[in-house]
């Protein structure tokens, strides 16, 4: 289950990913140490996510398979949906500014939540621990 509070512990290739996303160096440096914390509440196919970081706090509601809008911390707007594939959450989002696709997955592995990202050929991960 994804429910619970998760604090980012480490990143893998996240700066390269942000660079591919077009995020400038100053923002990348800040974002690499954003102290991101997410609290996930899952009820069937409905999710409530509280996100907090050095940049902001926000709450997101979504239903599996149903499109919703999400603004990244730098203001880039995405539209897309999460679906469940086995034990994995899979998100396919489209950037509103350029139409390009960002894919992301979440899976619980042991006591960690692993979120992977792909954008235009660059893969990254953020790994969270329960907190
Ligand atoms: C959620 O489930 O937490 C809300 C929806 C998340 C949408 C997709 C996340 C992509 C975030 C990309 C951040 C990349 C920064 C370069």
- Tens of pLDDT, residue by residue over 8-24, are 999 999 999 999 999 99
What are the tens digits of pLDDT across the range 62-96?
A: 999 999 999 999 999 999 999 999 999 999 999 99
Do the beta carbons of residue 49 and residue 38 sit within 8 Å? yes
Residue linked to tokens 């954003």 = 34
Residue linked to tokens 């592995």 = 109
Q: Which of 98, 103, 130 is nearest to 117 (CA)?
A: 103
The first and second tokens of residue 15, run together, are 């700066």
The first and second tokens of residue 122, run together, are 């660059």
CATH number for position 67: 2.40.128.20
Q: Which of 22, 20, 4, 18 is nearest to 106 (CA)?
A: 4
Q: Name the residue at shortest CA distance from atom 1 of ligand 1.
A: 49
Do the beta carbons of residue 93 and residue 70 sit within 8 Å? yes
55 DSSP 8-state letter? S
- Domain of 58 in residue numbering reads as 4-130
Residues linked to residue 8 through DSSP beta bridges, in sequence order: 128
Q: Is the pLDDT of residue 115 over 90?
A: yes
Number of domains in the chain: 1
pLDDT of residue 1: 86
Q: Name the residue at shortest CA distance from atom 12 of ligand 1.
A: 72
Do the beta carbons of residue 4 and residue 39 sit within 8 Å? yes
The first and second tokens of residue 124, run together, are 């990254």
| Ligand 1 probe mutation, 89, 93, 113, most atoms within 8 A of CB | 93
pLDDT of residue 82: 98
What are the tens digits of pLDDT across the range 33-70?
A: 999 999 999 999 999 999 999 999 999 999 999 999 99
Model ipTM? 0.93
pLDDT of residue 19: 98
Residues linked to residue 92 through DSSP beta bridges, in sequence order: 81, 103
Q: Name the residue at shortest CA distance from atom 6 of ligand 1.
A: 70
């Amino acid at each position: 289950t994804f429910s619970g509070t998760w604090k980012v512990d480490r990143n893998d290739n996240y700066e390269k990913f942000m660079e591919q996303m077009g995020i400038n160096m100053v923002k990348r440096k800040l974002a690499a140490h954003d102290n991101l914390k997410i609290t996930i509440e899952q009820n069937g196919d409905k999710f409530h996510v509280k996100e907090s970081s050095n940049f902001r706090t926000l709450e997101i509601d979504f239903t599996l398979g149903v499109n919703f809008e999400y603004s990244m911390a730098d203001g880039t707007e995405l539209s897309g949906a999460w679906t469940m594939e086995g034990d994995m959450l899979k998100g396919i989002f489209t950037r509103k500014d350029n139409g390009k696709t960002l894919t992301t997955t979440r899976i619980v592995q042991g006591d960690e939540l692993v979120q992977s990202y792909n954008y235009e050929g660059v893969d990254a991960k953020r790994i969270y621990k329960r907190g």
